[in-house]
Amino acid sequence: MQPSLPPTFVPQTVSTPEGAEIFVRSGGSGPVVVLLHGYAETSDSWAPLAADLMKSYTVVVPDLRGIGRSSHPPGGYDKKTQAADIRSVVVALGHDRISLVSHDIGIMVAYAYAARYPDKVERLVVMDAPIPGIAPWDEIVRNPSLWHFSFHGPDAERLVAGRERIYLDRIWNDFTGDPTKPDEATRAYYAAQYAKPGAMRAGFAQFTAFSQDVKDNEIFQQTKLTMPVLAIGGEKSFGTTEAVVMRNVALDVTEAVVPGAGHWLMEENPSATVTLIRDFLKLQL
């Protein structure tokens, strides 16, 4: 089944000072929660969580720069700049303090946001990804299964052009705990999103920017985050390593593992994942 946010969510596009047009949808009412998706997906991946949280929160769900229905500018894919994109979205929608929930490369943007605007973040949830430059980053990136971290540039674009589904299937298959997830309709939908003109160039740019992200994070990590952090890993993916990463940058970290799941938590075990996030956010109400 193709992922889709609740139909009551209102779409709009926000022009950021950093040169991006960010597509965002929002719905519900209450304290503000921003959901930041990851690579090989779009903001639609948050469908199960958005439907649940909108009962108690104002839920803001953007497409990251260069992904989905956001624009594909030539640069600005370092996560510090993308954090500024998200701050512009939050302010444009009339909000200030937020909680952040993030997955995959979304956690890299969320960390940069929390580090740049620490007094504007109530709670932070990060799920199943490393953060450039934050230990054990050097060990993690030596894993051959992360080949796609180093696969980018004009030749990679030419190789993948018209073959986006083959490339994305490899990523979905390598990191799932259940070969049937994401399902066929979900894969077809995301593959079409990444086949749009300029989308793969922008997608690869997320990884090209890691070298700059490492430099930025070396500075960010000198000041530890003080807001409560929930670090979630899939049992068959990052597991407890997510909390190991976050304890290097934050003082108040709660560890959680989603049973039976690989990397694609919203697709593989949405009920357990949603419950963990809901219970953590509820502590601020």
pLDDT band for position 105 (cuts 50, 70, 90) = very high
Is the model's pLDDT at 285 over the cut of 80? no
Counting residues of the chain whose pLDDT is more than 90, the rounded percentage is 98
| Cis bond upstream, residue 182 (ω within 30) | yes
Span 32-85, pLDDT tens digits:
999 999 999 999 999 999 999 999 999 999 999 999 999 999 999 999 999 999
Distance CA 179, CA 58 (A): 34
* pTM greater than 0.95 (yes/no): yes
Whether the CA torsion 205, 60, 174, 128 is positive or negative: it is positive
Distance CA 60, CA 65 (A): 15
Domains of the chain plus CATH, in order, are 10-284 (3.40.50.1820)
Distance CA 124, CA 126 (A): 7
Distance CA 113, CA 81 (A): 9
